[in-house]
Chain A
């Protein structure tokens, strides 16, 4: 039986270095970093001073006050981004299709900002009467997917997926499976995160996984560099409109790319450290290639997880070598996180969008701040300068806390 093909017909992005697809892509290609000193709160007592915030994000530009005021920042980012993606896809939602449209959004932390504020209100400032009743819907991770449904009148299957750093990629994968099954014709999917809050930054800081390069923020994220010290926490949203090829062709939709394959597993190793030999990550990559029915030789570009931690970058390099053998040294690999930090639940989705834009533009963005080679991370990471290339098949990898691994394969149409 022929398998249902799934394509991307719309995209939206809110990233630390760009709030439209064009702005974001132009920034990535030119190596422009969105990392700066944190403005969301006073970092005076923090060791970590830098983060990747979506600058001057104003939800009133995208949504009515009656909608956005009910949401934590993460949901504001997600619903605003969904609006852009829907407009980009020119998809009309009405009674004939609303039940056939799904919403699956990845987020690691949900409404963490509001949660922290409520904790302060109740614990520090005066007891249970200080907790707002609306905390419940605001904090819930599924508030973003539910508000997308509410805002745009979408009534198909609706849920959030939480697998830490691989949430966005897992959401895309789940959407792919649902579309292939025939359960839905269209899916609004992607990832969102707004983790730059005092407790979250403090917790990651104390986990010792964040970059300590506070001197020059734009140089703080250094994936694959010999002297890398950790990742930079980032916020953002990436939303894709997926639909069956049949549905897209019927409505003459613009098709950006095909979502060809998805591989996912759990390494069952450790909540925060990757399995050091990259075995499970490699299996997730192979799983995605098998699902896509693509051979390693056909891959033109790898958009890496590339966080900038000592352990991830090494394990990921080993995983790539396991799958691609000698060709691992030739395939261009780059890390978007070098410019936008680690956007946790949004990362897999934003980086899938980068992968698709790379196909559209036949160009690969650089890994910036890669100044000194690590003898153990010795692959072709496109340091500092973008590169024109033939790009047709791309894999985008996400390896999350909890040993969660998720990889997607996209191909040009």
Chain B
């Protein structure tokens, strides 16, 4: 399950932002390595909401741990998905 979520995150990022999937590693920095800005992150969050059937956009401002790497995104989505369960 966890591996699948990570794989889907990579696919969404690669397709949406025209990125080479090989560059999307867990420790890749969203901004400095993948070139994503704050608006891109919001777009990605909308797509993750649809893909994983979760609501996270409204919680974006109250996130305590910053989303800086791909793994940060992965952990955040996993956490939100388990809350739904």
Contact = CB atoms under 8 A, between A and B. Distances in A.
Contacts of A133: 39, 42-43, 46
B18 A65 contact: yes
Interface of A: 65-66, 69-70, 129-134, 136-137
A240 to B, nearest CB: 30
A69 B18 contact: yes
B39 A69 contact: no
B50 A129 contact: yes
Contacts of A134: 39-40, 42-43
B50 A66 contact: no
22 contacts: A65-B17, A65-B18, A66-B35, A69-B17, A69-B18, A70-B39, A129-B46, A129-B49, A129-B57, A130-B46, A130-B50, A131-B46, A132-B43, A132-B46, A133-B42, A133-B43, A133-B46, A134-B40, A134-B42, A134-B43, A136-B39, A137-B39
A70 B43 CA distance: 11
Given A134-B39, A134-B40, 13 more contacts: A65-B17, A65-B18, A66-B35, A70-B39, A70-B40, A129-B49, A130-B46, A130-B50, A132-B43, A133-B39, A133-B42, A133-B43, A137-B39
Contacts of A136: 39
A202 B43 CA distance: 29
Interface of B: 17-19, 35, 39-40, 42-43, 46, 49-50, 57
Nearest to A64: B35
Nearest to A133: B42
A137 B50 CA distance: 22
Contacts of A132: 43, 46
Nearest to B20: A65
Contacts of B35: 66
A366 B39 CA distance: 47
A38 to B, nearest CB: 25
A131 B17 CA distance: 16
A134 B17 CA distance: 12
A137 B39 CA distance: 9
A212 B53 CA distance: 47
A19 B14 CA distance: 30
Nearest to A67: B35
Nearest to B41: A133
Residue in A70, A131, A136 whose Cβ sees the most chain B Cβ within 10 Å = A70
A137 B19 CA distance: 21
A393 B61 CA distance: 60
Nearest to A138: B39
A129 B56 CA distance: 11
Nearest to A69: B18
Contacts of A70: 39-40
Contacts of A69: 17-18
Nearest to A135: B43
Contacts of B40: 70, 134
Contacts of B39: 70, 133-134, 136-137
Contacts of A137: 39
B84 to A, nearest CB: 15
Contacts of B19: 65
A69 B14 CA distance: 12
A70 B49 CA distance: 21
Contacts of A130: 46, 50
A369 to B, nearest CB: 40
The list of the 5 closest CB pairs from A to B, nearest first, reads A133-B42, A66-B35, A65-B18, A132-B43, A134-B39
A67 to B, nearest CB: 9
A130 B50 CA distance: 8
A65 B50 CA distance: 25
Residue in A130, A133, A134 whose Cβ sees the most chain B Cβ within 10 Å = A133
A136 B17 CA distance: 17
Contacts of A131: 46
A130 B57 CA distance: 12
B80 to A, nearest CB: 15
Nearest to A126: B50
B59 to A, nearest CB: 14
A131 B39 CA distance: 12
A69 B37 CA distance: 12
A66 to B, nearest CB: 4
B17 to A, nearest CB: 6
A70 B17 CA distance: 8
A80 to B, nearest CB: 16
